Structure 1
Amino acid sequence: MTTMEQIILTKRPQGAPTLENFEFRKTNIPEPSHKEVLVETHYVSVDPYMRGRMEDTKSYVEPFKLNEVLNGGVVGKVIESNSDLFNEGDFVIGHLGWQEYSVAKENELRKVDENIAPLSSYLGVLGMPGLTAYFGMREIGKPQKGETVLVSGAAGAVGMIAGQIAKLQGAKVIGIAGSDKKIDYLINKAGFDHAINYKTTKDINQSLLELCPEGIDVYFDNVGGPISEAVYPLLNTFARIPQCGAISSYNKQEDDIGPRIHTYLIKSRVLIQGFIVGDYAPKFQEASQELGRMLQDGQLIYEETVTDGFKKIPEAFLGLFKGENLGKQLIRVKR
């Protein structure tokens, strides 16, 4: 085989992305040069932050370019190597294209070991989502024994790990998610103390009051919007907010305008800090080892929603904004 398929961003979305924003194209499989390897794609990660990269606006990461291959986290197998660091048959992780094969420079990849953990986990609990949860909760949230921790988007890849990390610190942990299946998972498997289905609760404000009678000390925020607006009045003195995401607004075409929060922040002396996982790059190895230890010791569990087939990548991405995934959303391209 000499050709492969790749996925191109053909136009920028207006509001929620649709399949019309993507195009499948065939091209020749590239050949690696000196200190490069050819990687066969096995797993592709799709993540909410990619929606922001589809806009041509200034952000912490460059936007996707029109008529070029989209990219993200990929685990794959080295099938040709011109590098002394990698051999044919090695499994690697890197930031690669949405395509069946990629050429990568040796310094753009690192080896992963399927004997230590499943390959897919390196894109989830042992990858960017797990590290995001770890640093957001440990470095910003800093939950203490007996405190109340609230996690929005709690059944996602980041939220479920963040909540479990807080629980290991001795906190009372409450999650917010969007289906009864997710609520059941959070309470009966992930060990959350309580969880709220924001789609079926009659009054999110009242639900929070009932479950957080002593207020909220840490709010790990993945969603923003009306849910967060219900949280601010309940923040305790010196509460901490790791601001991880704001998925409620990612597809809005109009300005995302809500109540003024300054009074709450001042009154309770609240720390709210936006962050991205790359801020903590010097500590990645240490955190990865700690997450691996917690996983091996049975202190962490995780869930994956795995969709099969390269052609399904755009659909799986769009499903993120409909809440279709439980845990990490992945596409298995090669078994």
Structure 2
Amino acid sequence: MASGEGEVMRNKQVIFRDYVTGNPKESDMYVTDSSTIKLKAPQGSVAVLVKNLYLACDPYLRIRMGRIEGSSVFTSFTPGSPLSGFGVAKVLDSGHPEFKEGDLVWGTTGWEEYSLITEPEQLFKIHHTDVPLSYYTGLLGVPGMTAFVGFHEVCSPKRGDSVFVSAAAGAVGQLVGQFAKLMGCYVVGSVGSKEKVDLLKNKLGFDEAFNYKEEHDLDAALKRYFPKGIDIYFENVGGKMLDAVLLNMRPHGHISVCGMISHYNLNQPQGFSNLTSLIYNRIRMEGFVVFDYFHLYPKFLDMVLPYIREGKIVYLEDIVEGLERGPATLVGLFSGRNVGKQVVLVAPAE
């Protein structure tokens, strides 16, 4: 425990202004340093006081900006309060027996310089520091776990499977493609620019990639890259892409539904025309939430850490410096501005 009553510090925060409809804007958030925080956990509590180092910009944050009703997974942000999400932090003080001053952790924290975490069971202690700490917002955090669960646990892949990944240059998609290649699969990714196509093919090891914005007929594009059909589709976008994929799945194929970023800013989500393909081709389409699989985190680390240390996985990050750049960085996710995992550096690790 830290000694004394605890120093009082100004605490810069990104505040959520009000519920959002349509595309999020920078003006839906604002940055303030008018708040203060005591750098000590309340006496007798199990709370953990942390200094935030890295914050993850994730598409699901847009869902939390709207009014959420009937969801057991997400809750809406509270207008006038800081945003929250996954991040990497250093423990400054703790009332919880599993965490002590100086520990590095990742988990749910606030979009602010310092956070008092009252539910520390949401934190994971970082034991492996021979890799970049920022990886715990991505490769070794929720995106990595999401790729692992959605591909290995939901899709039950086999060597030689034909795998298609949408949003393939993003934090999750880039890893799904590489996990599939390490298994001996044929892998194609869709992205939104020529630069990202080159990245997938020349740096991330995908067999093929295409820019969906240049394809007037997505069904024809998929038939070009998968003349014998798709065994596994890792779904990140929804919309017209999913409708086209349904026409190109092989019998008994698997679709792992991770996200549908094309729907997040729509007031009325798009319907689908080709769902009968699920019946005719006996396709298994399964949505999943990574939080249900956190018990597999040790298994995931056992698989992925050797790949990192042996240089078998390339991981792309787009890191911006300064909490004040958080709103613009988060909004940029929805125009495809980032390449790889989008991260905000709040403070360098000491």
Residue 73 of structure 1, aligned match among 70, 74, 86: 86
Report the alpha carbon displacement of residue 40 of structure 1 after superposing the two structures with TM.
Answer: 1.1
2:309 alignment counterpart? 296
Report the alpha carbon displacement of residue 84 of structure 1 after superposing the two structures with TM.
Answer: 4.5
| Secondary structure of the structure 1 residue equivalent to 2:115 | strand
| Secondary structure of the structure 2 residue equivalent to 1:210 | helix
Aligned equivalents of 2:199, 2:185: Cα separation in 1: 19
1:267 alignment counterpart? 280
- Uncovered stretches (5+) of structure 1, i.e. residues with no partner: none
- Uncovered stretches (5+) of structure 2, i.e. residues with no partner: 1-7
Q: Structure 1 residues 271 and 83, CA, compared in 2 at 3 Å: closer, same or farther?
A: closer
Alignment check: 8 A CA contact 1:145 1:169 kept:
yes
| Secondary structure of the structure 1 residue equivalent to 2:206 | coil
Report the alpha carbon displacement of residue 82 of structure 1 after superposing the two structures with TM.
Answer: 4.4
1:121 alignment counterpart? 135
Query: In percent, how many aligned pairs have the same letter?
Result: 38
Residue 22 of structure 1, aligned match among 12, 26, 29: 29
| Secondary structure of the structure 2 residue equivalent to 1:86 | coil
2:149 alignment counterpart? 135
Task: Calculate the aligned-residue CA RMSD, in Å.
Answer: 1.7
Residues 22-171 of structure 1 mapped to structure 2, 5 A cutoff: 22-25=29-32, 26-30=34-38, 31-33=40-42, 34=44, 35-57=46-68, 58-59=70-71, 60-105=73-118, 106-113=120-127, 115-171=129-185
TM-score between the two structures when normalised by the length of structure 1: 0.95
Alignment check: 8 A CA contact 1:45 1:329 kept:
yes
Count of aligned pairs? 334
1:308 alignment counterpart? 321
Aligned equivalents of 1:147, 1:109: Cα separation in 2: 36
Report the alpha carbon displacement of residue 4 of structure 1 after superposing the two structures with TM.
Answer: 1.2
Q: Is 127-136 or 289-298 further displaced after alignment?
A: 289-298
Aligned equivalents of 1:2, 1:65: Cα separation in 2: 23
Q: Which amino acid aligns with 2:19?
A: R
Report the alpha carbon displacement of residue 111 of structure 1 after superposing the two structures with TM.
Answer: 2.3
Alignment check: 8 A CA contact 1:15 1:251 kept:
yes
1:55-81 CA distances to partner (integer Å, 9 max, x unpaired)? 222322222122222100111122334
